[in-house]
Chains A and B, each alone.
Chain A
Amino acid sequence: TQLLEQSPQFLSIQEGENLTVYCNSSSVFSSLQWYRQEPGEGPVLLVTVVTGGEVKKLKRLTFQFGDARKDSSLHITAAQPGDTGLYLCAGSNTGNQFYFGTGTSLTVIP
């Protein structure tokens, strides 16, 4: 059972463009995380959001947790080639297990 669906699955954009990645579920989560994974490496945590409606910013990345805590978005402003990677959302109800989304593969072309 895939609890979290991400869209788009693949995204290829030019350097300097903006983009948004979505993470949707029919389930409510107490917390949601976003990770970035580069080829040959494990995922690395970018942010954790825990409050409905919460917005967090990390330099050019803006993360939002939906009011109902069922969805989240990641917005990147002025994308750079260094942003290239696989972006994964992960939701938890108990803090014991995290359910990962299907992933969005981003390529930023110089």
Chain B
Amino acid sequence: DADVTQTPRNRITKTGKRIMLECSQTKGHDRMYWYRQDPGLGLRLIYYSFDVKDINKGEISDGYSVSRQAQAKFSLSLESAIPNQTALYFCATSDWGGANEQFFGPGTRLTVL
């Protein structure tokens, strides 16, 4: 079984709809991240969390919100989706210290019409 899972893997929605993307991990890591990936722009950080009581904004948090329900679960919400939020979304986890290697989920492809 994958260490970092994301649901759904694909989603098509309409402008104005509320969308939630979910991420679960079995690696026992405290740190979790949400990124979006757009062609030619690499990955950009939306939000990150270092434990269940810690939530931090990343580079591009406007239009998004997150919830850290447990150490293993970190969800990303689009309160009112818009077409320029069409992208590939990745969840990642990492442990404290060391190389800070991030382990990524398989991604969610979101299309907002």
B12 at interface by CB-CB < 8 Å: no
| Contact between chains at B40 and A40 (CB < 8 Å) | no
In the complex, the answer to whether B100 meets A43 with C-beta atoms within 8 Å is: no
Within the assembled complex, what's the spacing in Å between the Cα atoms of A75 and B40?
21
B99 near A48: Cβ-Cβ < 8 Å: yes
Tell me whether A42 and B45 are in contact (CB under 8 A).
no
CB distance from A47 to the nearest CB of B (A): 9
Task: Decide if A98 touches B100 in the complex (CB within 8 Å).
Answer: yes
Which of A62-70, A77-85, A99-107 forms part of the interface with chain B?
Answer: A99-107
Q: Is B29 interfacial (CB 8 A cutoff)?
A: no
Scan B48-72; emit 1 where CB is below 8 A from any A CB, else 0: 1010000010110000000000000
Which residues on B are within 8 Å of A, measured CB to CB? Answer: 4, 35, 40-45, 48, 50, 56, 58-59, 90, 92, 97, 99-107
Pairs across A and B, CB under 8 Å, 21 listed: A2-B41, A9-B40, A31-B100, A41-B106, A41-B107, A42-B4, A43-B102, A43-B104, A45-B102, A48-B100, A88-B43, A95-B97, A96-B50, A98-B45, A98-B100, A99-B59, A100-B35, A100-B42, A101-B42, A102-B42, A103-B42
